[in-house]
């Protein structure tokens, strides 16, 4: 694969760059790249993660002096700023990624299915949509009754990074067509947060289940496997650097190759470019 064969979204490239390695990470990064810099999608404490990401960045032509452009992170964090309960977040690649995915899907869905009134927003609560409107009442019940909350141990106030809505035929609240969780990279705690949020939506819907998908740039197949393996809580994981990371995995260990083969072979990991067509025609 050469730079002319790059399949990563063009809007993603400005977010990719190298960051300065910590003291503990310096040896690994210097061995791999000749300098104490690490790809900003990699876990630089893992030589495997760093190596795979480095191959992807070489394909993409990302320079070691490249700095991620976070200028768009100055936008408001949430489209529903008045109704959100999440604290405002500082400028970060993750926040920028959410807004770029929202904008990209909004444009792609209109092109793919212009007859449908798509509404792509960031940070809207699931209870804003018809299938989950009853969750506000549940949330108030648990807020007003600490004993019940501690006994049942559920938080019903789910708020997903990017929501894709469609009008309901009766003119009432929009239907949640897709909940898209956006994760720049994955750690075990982040992966389980996604699983918890989506499981709550699966269990508590009243009506059609929305698409539940994760979009990420995580380079390590075994970490992708921790969230993609299994059924029920998530439709699939869509990778922003699918082809580039696949080339990196070819240079990696047997364990990482096996994990990647399982993910792709079972349809649990798909290229990001397949997401919009899937949402548009289902």
Sequence spans of domains, the chain: 72-280
Alpha-carbon distance values, 249 to 201, 254, 267 (Å)? 33, 9, 17
Rounded Cα distance, 201 and 234, in Å:
10
pLDDT tens track for 189-215: 666 788 888 988 998 899 899 999 999
pLDDT tier at 84, thresholds 50, 70, 90? very low
The answer, yes or no, to whether residue 75 has pLDDT greater than 70, is no
Quote the pLDDT of residue 107.
98
Whether pLDDT at 145 is above 90: no
Q: Give me the residues paired with residue 212 across strands.
A: 179
Segment 158-194, tens digit of pLDDT: 889 999 999 988 878 899 999 999 999 997 666 678 8
pLDDT confidence of 65, banded at 50, 70, 90?
A: confident
Distance of alpha carbon 268 from alpha carbon 265, whole angstroms? 8
Across the chain, the runs of DSSP E, i.e. the strands, are: 18-20, 37-39, 119-122, 162-166, 175-183, 211-216, 236-239, 269-271
The domain made up of 72-280 is a member of CATH 3.30.200.20: no
Grade residue 240 by pLDDT with cuts at 50, 70 and 90: very high
Q: What is the mean pLDDT of residues 206-226?
A: 95
pTM of the model: 0.87
3-state secondary structure of 27: helix
Largest pairwise CA distance in the chain:
62
Q: Please check the confidence at residue 82 and state whether its pLDDT lies above 50.
A: no
Q: DSSP states of 176-229 as a string?
A: EEEEEEEESS--HHHHHHHHHHHHHHHHH-SSSPPEEEEEE----HHHHHHHHS
């Amino acid at each position: 694969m050469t730079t002319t064969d790059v399949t990563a979204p063009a809007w993603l490239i400005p977010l990719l760059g190298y960051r300065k390695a910590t003291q503990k990470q310096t040896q690994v990064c210097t061995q791999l790249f000749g300098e104490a810099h690490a790809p900003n999608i990699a876990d630089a404490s893992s030589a495997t993660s760093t190596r795979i990401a480095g191959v992807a960045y070489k394909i993409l032509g990302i320079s070691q002096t490249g700095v991620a452009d976070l200028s768009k992170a100055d936008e408001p964090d949430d489209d529903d700023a008045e109704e959100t309960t999440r604290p405002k977040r500082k400028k970060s690649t993750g926040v920028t990624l959410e807004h770029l995915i929202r904008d990209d899907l909004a444009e792609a869905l209109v092109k793919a299915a212009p007859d449908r009134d798509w509404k792509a927003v960031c940070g809207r609560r699931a209870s804003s949509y018809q299938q989950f409107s009853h969750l506000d009442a549940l949330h108030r019940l648990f807020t007003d009754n600490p004993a019940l909350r501690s006994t049942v141990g559920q938080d019903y106030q789910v708020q997903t990074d990017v929501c894709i809505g469609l009008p309901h035929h009766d003119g009432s609240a929009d239907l949640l067509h897709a909940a898209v969780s956006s994760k720049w990279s994955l750690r075990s705690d982040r992966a389980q947060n996604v699983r918890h949020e989506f499981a709550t939506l699966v269990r508590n819907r009243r009506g059609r289940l929305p698409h539940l998908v994760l979009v990420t740039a995580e380079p390590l197949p075994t970490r992708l496997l921790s969230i993609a393996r299994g059924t029920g809580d998530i439709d699939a994981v869509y990778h922003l650097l699918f082809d580039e990371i696949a080339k990196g995995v070819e240079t990696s260990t047997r364990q990482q190759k096996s994990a990647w083969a399982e993910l792709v072979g079972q349809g649990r990991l798909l290229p990001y470019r397949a997401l919009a067509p899937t949402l548009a025609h289902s």
